[in-house]
A and B are shown apart, each in its own frame.
Chain A
């Protein structure tokens, strides 16, 4: 921490400033046209007084012991080079850094014969300063209430409410009102809760803005929610031949969503999920048991045999192939343990999915494809954790997930340094953070009984989910840069996840260039179109996306998928695309068309 000191003003400068001040004063007498209303808002903070100590240092010349510069620090240690630079300037800093120790010898018999500068602690002064501490602000959360459901169904059998609930964190304050707009029309509710009646919307939904006013004198941030209510089935069929019961599909895109089916990337992209639900590979089941898989993972089996967790002594070569994976016999011997192993992370995957909104099945698929659920580092490959986080992946999550960065960075670097943001850190600091993050998710543990720290493995799931969120954000930005529109306006939910997987696997350059070429060709941003426009070097990503999105039905990946860069494949797009089945959506009974009134005189 530096202490600002007053520097002597030069007289000519003072005169100039005085003249400028006079002129400004004269200008100020002209009536101001613009008026600043006193509505800057309430600052939620408290001011506290903290103790600190000022250490005053003098830089003196060896030659005559004259003070060359004064340096002030708030720590007991000697001032470092940056502090000397701040107070003394570059020349003095250089002179000080270049000063060697003053050692008496035959040429130097007293200190005045030494060259350069030396530091002397002049004083230590206890002091106090006022520090402003921010207080938490009110927030408003959104959910759906009054949604009666048939057993096993997701649709509401009655039109539900959009429930807004505000929270005032200060103990003696309260939310006095929740205000907002629905498609531009204002609404207001007293107190901290508000139920907005919903009615059917189009496929695009309606925009709801909302905020809470506090008795403290301020208001929450203004939040947005895109709300969609789709009548489900043909109960609104005008011919009245339906047997369907009325029901409504309701979904909400908002950072403040507190209900079920939280999907963070959907909100990032402003993209509704398909009305009939996401495809199986993008679902989060209601129970962890629904994630259970029984795949044959040869590499995992090999590692388990090596760790002694599986007895394959009766198999040829101890059940191991030359690659380190299990051979057929080893796989058979290890199958039960492999089944247990691949499902032991399901509970944590579910918890992370609830916490982050990343689909649980997607995470499991990626872990299967990336690591075969072995969370350590494979030989010669600097990728760690169940999701095989690499340096590039770590870079992405630190850069594109600022919320995660702000939590992680202070564990490694000083707070002040972290506040600069990942992009503004020195390359060395960035490298330090990247390395720390990869190490953090590496569950390899030579001293552990099975060579793996399972706690660390579980932790890596959370990091991986945040890495995916960072990729969602990066894809949002790439699409916005290419189209000037939100992703949900130009691509569907499933394709956006495929773009994200490609971004995770092949990097933003591949996806960005392919999208730009697709747009330049006048084609819509579908996965098929973008995949066709991938450069040759990026095409390996297609197989990766196909593998992940095909599971859980897909066959086990080979060891070469994990240990080496796959050879580029020739990508042949599927010639015909089966359209995603959609429910029959009937609009509500159309209202009477207004008869135009003839213009007077016509």
Chain B
């Protein structure tokens, strides 16, 4: 019997979608000032007001509504397991300022979900404005409470977000506070809205995506989607590509004041994303997002071959899955938490981002005849950036040429899927 030596290949595995959409929605940046983006919805077409400038010393922020302690009691398996079910991971002790957002990308278009082959955990210390991203391969074979040992990417399809939360709690000791699920179309929209991405392809892809030799490529939404969902026989590599694009998207989103159009973006995407993140959740975290735009403040982790091992299912089908090396996985989570637990001064780039947004707001106000309604609930808008005394003056001059246009206009209606999504109990015939 010959082993193929590869992980089970996944069809339409599109992993990265999640990442991008995450960046956009989760971190609340988004900019859609590019032609070809989604049309604004008038009712939500508001601009942000300037906010309080960043300070070098992290200011403790009041904790949002405290999440009730809902640590679950895990259900026993309902089916025999292919391998022994490991004991539940110890619950990780999280500071109350640490929030966990889960970013999922699915291969299926709405209203379907299918397998979520992009799984990224975002651990954010909101007080210290630091974040860690832990990316997990979808083939990770874990215990799905109440079901059996199965791939992590099947949890949402089998039991919705509740099962995903329980699964992460059982296997990693953490339970996400918020989630967002993105489908391929939204991911492509986001990339197109941002005016495409310049992606450095480290390992050439010869048998997919139209061929991608190593080097820098400007990619549109379709191409980026292919890049992040291409399997190529190594799921860990795919997860790394997802992270790479996640970083690129995030950087692009916080750049050039694109966050000013966050309400528009939210209005455009909210019907298509599945999320429990509200617009208010996003708006209140705009300053946080700008600070996380500093690459020094976000640490990326991948559960890779050092933390995983390949295991062939004992059924003569030569199907391999990934089993976690529990100690090594725990170490990744410890490092991820440690990385967001130490305060560090804000970099100058954050001030630059803030300046860009301030200018974008000012330009938007100038360009619009109508009076906007400030959405940011803290400071009175001033229209310009005022450095805080004692804080270093930003050295990078904000570039205004990339300022998004006040209003994105589109000659063609954006393709919006019309199918309604029905979950466990489908509705009657129309």
Contact = CB atoms under 8 A, between A and B. Distances in A.
Interface of A: 28, 32-43, 46-49, 130, 135, 170-174, 176-177, 179, 181-191, 194-199, 201, 206, 213, 215-219
Contacts of A183: 429-430
A107 B428 CA distance: 95
B226 A186 contact: no
B231 interface: yes
A217 B157 CA distance: 12
Contact of A185 (B9, B112, B419): B419
A120 B9 CA distance: 48
Nearest to B109: A186
B371 interface: no
A183 B108 CA distance: 19
Contacts of B112: 177, 179, 186, 188
Interface stretch (B190-198, B310-318, B322-330, B331-339): B310-318
A197 B229 CA distance: 36
Contacts of B115: 176, 213, 215, 217
Interface string B101-129: 00000011001111100000000000000
B275 interface: no
B413 interface: no
Contact of B426 (A32, A46, A196): A196
Given A38-B230, A41-B11, A198 B158 contact: no
B114 A47 contact: no
A188 B113 CA distance: 8
Contact of B11 (A42, A177, A197, A201): A42
A33 B211 CA distance: 11
A218 B154 CA distance: 12
Contacts of B405: none
A190 B144 CA distance: 14
A217 B229 CA distance: 13
Contacts of B231: 38
Given A38-B209, A182-B430, A183-B430, 4 more contacts: A33-B210, A39-B13, A172-B82, A184-B419
B317 A135 contact: yes
B225 to A, nearest CB: 7
A186 B229 contact: no
A190 B160 contact: yes
Contacts of B95: none
Contacts of B107: 39
Contacts of B429: 182-183, 185, 197-199, 201, 206
Contacts of A172: 82, 313-315, 317, 319
A191 B279 CA distance: 32
Contact of A28 (B8, B211, B422): B211
A219 B13 CA distance: 13
A47 B428 CA distance: 45
Contact of A197 (B8, B424, B428): B428
Given A176-B158, A198-B428, A38 B208 contact: yes
B68 interface: no
A130 B313 CA distance: 20
Given A170-B315, A177-B158, A35 B209 contact: yes
Given A172-B82, A186-B421, A42 B10 contact: yes
Contact of B229 (A37, A46, A216): A37
Contacts of B34: none
B114 A177 contact: yes
Contacts of B422: 185-188
B3 to A, nearest CB: 8
A28 B157 CA distance: 40
Contact of A36 (B113, B158, B208, B425): B208
A40 B9 CA distance: 10
12 contacts: A32-B210, A38-B226, A39-B107, A49-B1, A135-B317, A172-B315, A174-B154, A183-B430, A188-B423, A190-B158, A197-B427, A198-B428
A32 to B, nearest CB: 3
Given A43-B9, A186-B420, A197 B318 contact: no
Contacts of B230: 38
Contacts of A38: 12-13, 208-209, 226, 229-232
A217 B8 contact: yes
A48 B158 contact: no
Q: Which of B225, B423, B427, B429 has the most CB of A within 10 A?
A: B429
Interface residues of chain B: helix, strand, loop or mixed (majority): loop
Contacts of B150: 174, 215
B183 interface: no
B424 A35 contact: no
A189 B424 CA distance: 5
A39 B2 contact: no
B319 A35 contact: no
B222 A39 contact: no
B395 interface: no
Nearest to B12: A39
A173 B223 CA distance: 31
Q: Which of B11, B148, B222, B422 has the most CB of A within 10 A?
A: B11
Contact of A190 (B157, B210, B421): B157
A46 B316 contact: yes
A6 B231 CA distance: 33
B317 A170 contact: yes
A35 B223 CA distance: 7
B4 interface: yes
A216 B317 CA distance: 10
B372 to A, nearest CB: 29
B258 interface: no
Given A172-B82, A206-B429, A46 B154 contact: no
B383 interface: no
B11 A39 contact: yes
A119 to B, nearest CB: 35
A40 B107 CA distance: 13
Contacts of B160: 190
Contacts of B423: 188, 190
A176 B154 contact: yes
B1 A199 contact: no
B67 interface: no
Contacts of A196: 426
B79 interface: yes
Given A32-B211, A36-B208, A190 B426 contact: no
B11 A40 contact: yes
A176 B157 contact: yes
Contacts of B210: 32-36
Contacts of B9: 42-43, 217
Contacts of A28: 211
A176 B164 CA distance: 13
A174 B115 CA distance: 13
Contacts of A206: 429
Nearest to A33: B210
Interface in B371-430: 419-430
A191 B14 CA distance: 22
A45 to B, nearest CB: 9
A48 B2 contact: yes
Contact of A48 (B1, B8, B225, B232): B1
A37 B225 CA distance: 8
Contacts of B148: 174
Most buried by B among A176, A213, A218: A176
Contacts of B113: 177, 188
Q: 10 closest Cβ contacts across the A-B interface?
A: A32-B210, A187-B426, A39-B12, A176-B157, A217-B10, A186-B111, A172-B82, A177-B157, A41-B11, A186-B419
Interface in B129-166: 147-148, 150-151, 154, 157-160
Nearest to B3: A47
Nearest to B81: A172
B5 to A, nearest CB: 10
B222 to A, nearest CB: 5
Contacts of B226: 35-38
Contacts of A215: 115, 150-151, 154
B298 to A, nearest CB: 28
